[in-house]
């Protein structure tokens, strides 16, 4: 019996220390989208990948597809669905601000890289957009470095003055521990129990 309890405690400790890595990759090549999200556990021994793509079939019917790699199952959401999800996410952030702030304080951004080649067909507009894109991501990288210990960064934006063109490769890798998610979940549960008990 003692060995079983010890094994359970050891398993719980391992779970609390388990590191999870999430990679967000946005790739646009020749007008086609090859974006995906990968979640890695045990240093990549266990991987879960979701393909993300925007499928334009008219302004009012843009679809957002989430599909697990090597799976035929897809879930498509319209722009309205995505807006509804964003609004719900904002409500969650507002209601559980303290818990989410705790999670954010434990996150570390390992990598942020951007390789972009942008052209609009107009030299002045191309220069303006490329300069603005570089400035935005450079500022964003500085923010991540200050708040989330960003370790590696590379931002390259090349203007294409010859023709309208869009070639983009954005990569962001985030590290955190499963234990932090569990603690944040316990904080949420405690907050709900306090509201029930005290009628808040």
**Cα 28 from Cα 111, distance rounded (Å):** 19
- Report whether 80 contacts 59 (CB < 8 A): no
- What is the block-wise mean pLDDT of the chain (200 residues), using blocks of 10 residues? 71 72 87 83 80 53 43 45 62 67 79 92 90 92 89 93 88 85 73 65
Distances (CA, A) of 157 to 121, 128, 150: 16, 12, 20
Q: What is the pLDDT of residue 75?
A: 45
Q: What is the pTM of this model?
A: 0.65
Which among 186, 36, 6, 35 has a CA at the least distance from the CA of 102?
186
Which pLDDT score is estimated for 152?
92
pLDDT of residue 185: 73
Q: What pLDDT score was predicted for residue 79? A: 46
The confidence score (pLDDT) of residue 58 equals: 43
For position 198, what pLDDT does the model report? Answer: 66
pLDDT of residue 176: 84
Given this model, what pLDDT does residue 56 score? 47
pLDDT at 1: 66
């Amino acid at each position: 019996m003692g060995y079983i309890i010890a094994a359970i405690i050891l398993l719980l400790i391992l779970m609390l220390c388990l590191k999870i890595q999430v990679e967000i990759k946005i790739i646009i090549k020749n007008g086609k989208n090859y974006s995906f999200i990968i979640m890695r556990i045990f240093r990549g021994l266990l991987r879960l990948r979701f393909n993300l793509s925007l499928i334009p079939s008219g302004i009012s019917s843009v679809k957002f597809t989430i599909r697990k790699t090597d799976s035929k199952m897809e879930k498509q959401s319209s722009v309205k669905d995505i807006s509804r999800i964003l609004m719900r996410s904002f409500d969650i952030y507002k209601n559980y601000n303290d818990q989410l702030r705790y999670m954010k304080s434990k996150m570390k951004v390992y990598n942020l890289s951007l390789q972009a080649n942008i052209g609009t067909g107009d030299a002045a507009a191309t220069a303006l957009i490329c300069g603005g894109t570089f400035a935005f991501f450079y500022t964003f990288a500085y923010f991540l470095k200050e708040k989330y210990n960003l370790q590696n960064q590379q931002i390259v934006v090349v203007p294409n003055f010859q023709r309208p063109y869009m070639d983009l490769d954005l990569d962001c890798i985030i590290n955190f521990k499963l234990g932090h998610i569990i603690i944040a979940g316990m904080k949420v549960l405690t907050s709900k129990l306090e509201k029930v008990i005290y009628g808040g």
